[in-house]
Amino acid sequence: MMTEGASALPARAVQEERGRVGVVIVDDDPLVRAGLRMILGADKRLTILGEAADGQAGVEMVVATGPEVVLMDIRMPRMDGLAATRHLAELGNAARIIVLTTFDADDMVASALRAGASGFLLKDTDPAELVRAVRVVARGEPMLSPSVTAQLMATVARDEGSQRSATAIASLGGLTEREHEVAVALGRGLSNAEIAADLYMSVATVKAHVGRILAKLGMQNRTQIAICVHDAGLACRDRSGGGGMSSLRCGMLSW
């Protein structure tokens, strides 16, 4: 039984909508929920499976409806978005979470990604970009707003030399040489195709390496691998040793 503040499609309706990307919206502001529902509901490739007004109700909604993607606000009553994201990860839930925030919550970017979020967008994101983000994240790829990426880089820079850095280095130390190269490439913001070209392997092999890295590090998604690489201070080690586009993209977590 779901708590107050949650609403979902009937089970039959959910089944009829299969084949589309199922989405759950979790935000305590009814106007924000209505806006997101209108934007996403207009795309025939997406289905709104339910809504919730707080993190606790959101977790229950996600468990009950099994969406591919969750749009999660950060600041909510009873249970905030970070705690809800962390709880879903602990439950082993497969839903991919995009955290939504305003500028005044940007300090939580790194915390949300470490908690298991697959993306982080500002609430004033263009509607078309929001729809694209949902579809990108549903495919298993991370998505960050450019301004959020800049904030994340600043946060990582402040953490340099901390215990977190030592922990990240130790974690990456358990990878094979090839897995380590793939992990660093993820930290540089490269796509699977770009990693394959850079490391002279097939895309399928890259995906296999990513899967093994996730298993070894006990992580849920590529974004967490990239965060770990950044914490270890390895993301800006450009293999080419030169400048150009590779250097410009070094350290960026936007795919």
Which tens digits make up the pLDDT trace of 117-130? 888 888 888 899 89
Which tens digits make up the pLDDT trace of 143-183? 766 555 555 655 555 555 567 778 888 888 889 999 999 99
The domain defined by 6-154 carries CATH number 3.40.50.740: no
Q: Quick one: which of 188, 181, 203 has its CA closest to 245?
A: 188
Residue carrying the six token digits 């993209």: 249
171 touches 228 (CB < 8 A) = yes
In SS3 terms, 37-74 reads as: HHHHHCCCCEEEEEEECCHHHHHHHHHHHCCCEEEEEC
Over range 90-99, report the average pLDDT: 90
Q: Which pLDDT does position 190 carry in this prediction? A: 84
- Report whether pLDDT(248) > 60: no
Instruction: Report in angstroms the alpha-carbon separations of 53 from 135, 225, 244.
Output: 23, 30, 46
Indicate the pTM of the whole model.
0.63
- Report whether pLDDT(72) > 80: yes
CATH code, residues 162-249: 3.40.50.2300
In this structure, what are the phi and psi dihedrals at residue 26, rounded to the nearest 5 degrees? -125, 105
- Report whether pLDDT(45) > 70: yes
239 falls in which pLDDT band (50, 70, 90)? very low
CA 13 to chain centre: 27
Please give the span between the terminal C-alpha atoms of the chain, in angstroms, as a whole number: 38
Domain ranges of the chain: 6-154, 162-249
CA distance 221 to 240: 27
Instruction: Report in angstroms the alpha-carbon separations of 167 from 78, 160, 164, 212.
Output: 31, 12, 5, 19
More confident residue, 251 or 236: 236
Q: Do domains 6-154 and 162-249 have the same CATH topology?
A: yes
Over range 77-97, report the average pLDDT: 90
What per-residue string of b and e applies to 12-49 under the rule 16 or more CB within 10 Å gives b? Answer: eebeeeeebbbbbbbbbeeeebebbeebbeebeebbbb
